Structure 1
Amino acid sequence: MVWSRHSIPSWLSAAATRVDFEANPSKMLKDGNDGCSLEQHQHRSKPPLSDANLGFGGRVLSAAGAAVLSAILVNPLDVAKTRLQAQAAGVPYQGLCYPACSEANTILPNLQSSASSVRSNLGLEPVCRPECSQYKGTVDVFYKVIRQEGFLRLWRGTNASLALAVPTVGIYLPCYDIFRNLMEDFTTQNAPNLTPYVPLVAGSVARSLACLTCYPIELARTRMQAFIETQIGVKPPGVFKTLLGVVDPAKSTNFLQNLQSYRILWTGLGAQLARDVPFSAICWSTLEPIRRRFLDMVGDKASLPIIFGANFSAGFAAGTLAAAFTCPLDVARTRRQIEKDPSRAVKMTTRSTLVEIWRDGGMKGLFTGIGPRVGRAGPSVGIVVSFYEVVKYALHHHTHLNQ
């Protein structure tokens, strides 16, 4: 049996149908072999309600629900990735030992030779063996965070993730849909050969817009996940206090200088864009062909489970690939965001940061945290895209039934 692209559900593949029909309508009529008239095929090629005519509010609602679900599920992997990258950048994770470690060091005081250990044995500061303050991998981060800080610390920064995810994804996915539809309409009529590159450009532009809008919250999340509160019983600072801590060191008595100092909240924006724009370009240019191929296999039999499965599988594959390729840029972004010296933070560039990472750790340093990053990105993209498309599908059918 021969499948034609117009057999894909139109609400997910209107662009592909328009390209085929407008490029060669007679061939499409012949290949379809279904006896439809030219007017019927023109009707099929029009963007359907759920994809093209769904309002911006409906798209934002779909994206926000996907963002909340993804942020909660994958936050522990985000914490592990950030801790490993911050450790490689020189952030010390000391001062928190679980009870068994402290007891072992107290029983064997003769093994402690440093001045710090002597003070610890006298009760002036806690004892902690070197391996207790070093993370060896993703699983080790989970284990030590739970033992030293508590299980809920794996969700450190979730409030920032939620505050970031809803507006970011609420801007990102709807804008991607809108830009993609507009660009596909333009390229179909004027430059059909450029149509395959539309997802790459639309994803890059939409992601850049989202990053510029919500970057300070992204900065706060990274710092909340990277730094730990060493004072027992003290609640770690939230998003607002974290951002105040970023701005305060740069403040002066001059009002105009204080206004200019707030630009430090966008420190590392270049690195963020350098990571997210290629990520989006790789992700969408990989996701769209895979998703359409899956849907092409089922034809008109698409249902909610099939739509969810096709989008999750395509998103998982695309997110994994994009995360692996952009890991060095993610390491550079983290290093720039956790820099505490305001004067140095302003002078750092993405290129100089990558050179510094290469000098300190070589290839291994550039791919620090790749395990949790890939483990986070694949499911996250799969969840966001599949949930987004399923909600769009449900809203489309709800609107269609009420008409």
Structure 2
Amino acid sequence: MTSKCHEMTPGGITPVQQMVSSCSGAILTSLLVTPLDVVKIRLQAQHNPFLKGRCFVYCNGLMDHLCLCENGNSKVWYKAPGHFSGTLDAFIKIIRHEGIKSLWSGLPPTLVMAVPATVIYFTCYDQLCVALKARMEGQTEMAPLFAGAIARVGSVTVISPLELIRTKLQSQKQSYRELGACIRTAVESAGWLSLWRGWGPTLLRDVPFSAMYWYNYEKGKAWLCERNNTTEATFAITFLSGAASGAIASIATLPFDVVKTRRQVELGELQALNCNYTIRPLSSSTWSVMSRIVAESGPRGLFAGFLPRLIKVAPACAIMISTYEFGKAFFHKQNQETGLFRLQPGNS
């Protein structure tokens, strides 16, 4: 028997309410996680300053941000004077010397691009999960895995050209007219598929992550509900389930994340040097990049950044999913009270 704790179907809320719930989760995740990652990058920069012309990537839980260093001491992005003795000291000095807004560096493009993509992704997942459960008699436990994978494929495919444009804007200061000219040149020389460069490595990282995340999340949520003898998942249960499933998925897909980051950095640095980057091969196939990393750093190189990724992804996943589930539960209750779904069978 399936309890409310095992699944939160979207039948009791409208698609618009689903979108509002996921949008709230995405915005809250960005607001809370961005300052932590900004401080982390600042602390890393003072120990290993970024060289002129080099790129680095930081992520606020929803989207990677590519930054280009234009001089030898990273002053373009790393502005606060003095030395940070720790995380709290970094927070204080950044706010004092640069203003509190600097803690949310890169937030505007996240709100413009990543938040809508996240809304589409979560809404599609819910709809797909319900549809698959209706057709997978006796195998409904696998529905979250397939729904998560399919939803992520669609999301990555839609957003990939925008990722390429955003990377170029971040790595090379250009007007929109110049950017448009470069994109036209790229399409003419390499075809429309050039706009989906990096799509493969992104899928290899994000699709397995999404499939494992949703499967483990649903299983973990059901297990915690059973342990706590409750039929409805609380905020704490969804938070813990999201954190645990995000941690497992992030560890399993870390090698692909390392490849994705390297390709993204190489792309940014190449774009900073030459607008016609698309007529050159960037870094060959995903497996070739992996072989090169192993040759340079050994097998451990594929798991570089293990702890920072774990510390970043787990809280982001926890905040996102718990806020999303809270929003869905809120709207579901409101609809019950107003009788919005009273006449529809199967809604309770």
Q: TM-score range by the shorter chain?
A: 0.7 to 0.9
CA distance in 2, matches of 1:152, 1:249: 32
Q: Is the 8 A contact 1:76 1:154 kept in 2?
A: yes
Matched, 1:375 2:311: yes
Alpha-carbon distance, 1:295 to partner:
1.9
Deviations 1:317-370 (A, max 9, x none): 111111122122112112212324324455632222222222222234322333
Aligned with 1:182 (options 128, 131, 140): 131
Deviation by residue 1:179-209 (Cα, 9 ceiling, x = unmatched): 1111111111xxx2x3322211111111111
Deviation at 1:100, TM superposition (A): 7.0
- Residue 394 in 1 paired to residue 330 in 2? yes
Residue 215, structure 1, aligned to residue 160, structure 2: yes
CA RMSD of aligned residues (A): 4.0
- Please say if 1:269 is aligned against 2:199: yes
> After alignment, is 68-77 or 268-277 more displaced?
68-77
Rounded to whole Å, the distance in 1 between the matches of 2:301 and 2:112 is 30
1:94-113 pair list within 5 angstroms: 94-96=72-74
Report if aligned partners of 2:153, 2:203 keep a CA contact under 8 Å in 1.
yes
Q: Which runs of 5+ in 2 are unaligned?
A: 56-68, 271-276, 340-348
Secondary structure of the corresponding residue to residue 94 of structure 1: coil
Change (3 A) 1:223 1:315: farther
1:257 to 178, 181, 188: 188
Alignment partner of 1:166 out of 104, 109, 115: 115
Correspondence 1:199 to 2:136: no
| Superimposed CA distance per residue, residues 21-72 of structure 1 (whole angstroms, 9 cap, x where no aligned partner) | xxxxxxxxxxxxxxxxxxxxxxxxxxx8x63242211111111110111112
Corresponding position of 1:385:
321
Deviation larger for 367-376 or 384-393: 367-376
The aligned amino acid for 1:393 is A
Q: 1:205 to 1:99 in 2, by over 3 A?
A: closer
In the TM superposition, what is the alpha-carbon distance from 1:386 to its structure 2 partner?
0.8
Of Structure 1 and Structure 2, the greater helix share is in: 1
Match status 1:295 vs 2:254: no
What residue in structure 1 maps to residue 345 of structure 2? none
Q: For residue 176 of structure 1, report the CA deviation from its aligned partner.
A: 0.9
- Is 1:321 aligned with 2:255? no
Task: Give the Å deviation of 1:78.
Answer: 4.8
Q: Do the aligned residues in 1 keep the contact of 2:13 with 2:335 (CA within 8 Å)?
A: no
- Paired amino acid for 1:267: R
Q: Distance in 1 between matches of 2:260 and 2:252?
A: 14
Whether the 8 Å contact between 2:22 and 2:118 is mirrored in structure 1 is yes
The answer to whether the Cα contact below 8 Å between 1:319 and 1:378 also exists between their aligned partners in 2 is yes
Percent sequence identity over matched residues?
27
Gapped regions of structure 1 (runs ≥ 5)? 15-47, 102-131, 133-137, 228-235
Identify the residue that residue 281 of structure 1 maps to in structure 2.
211
Separation of aligned partners in 2, 1:268 and 1:73: 28
Residues 251, 261 of structure 1: 8 Å contact kept: no
Counterpart Cα distance in 1 of 2:108 and 2:118: 15
How many angstroms does 1:300 deviate by? Answer: 4.9
| Contact 1:64/1:165, CA 8 A, preserved across alignment | no
Q: Which amino acid aligns with 1:162?
A: L
Q: 1:77–1:372: 8 Å Cα contact kept in structure 2?
A: no
Q: CA deviation at 1:172?
A: 1.0
Q: Distance in 2 between matches of 1:90 and 1:164?
A: 25
Alignment check: 8 A CA contact 2:251 2:306 kept: yes
Aligned to 2:298: 362
CA contact (8 A) 1:247 1:261 kept: no
- SS of 1:13 mapped into structure 2: coil
Q: Aligned with 2:296: secondary structure? A: helix
Rate the CA distance shift 1:86–1:247 in 2: closer, same or farther, 3 A: farther
Q: Please, what TM-score do these two structures have when normalized by structure 2?
A: 0.72
Distance 1:364 1:316 in 2: 24
1:13 to 2:6 alignment: yes
Aligned length: 306
Residues 10 and 18 of structure 2 are in contact (CA less than 8 Å); yes or no, is this contact kept in structure 1? no
Contact 1:251/1:257, CA 8 A, preserved across alignment: yes
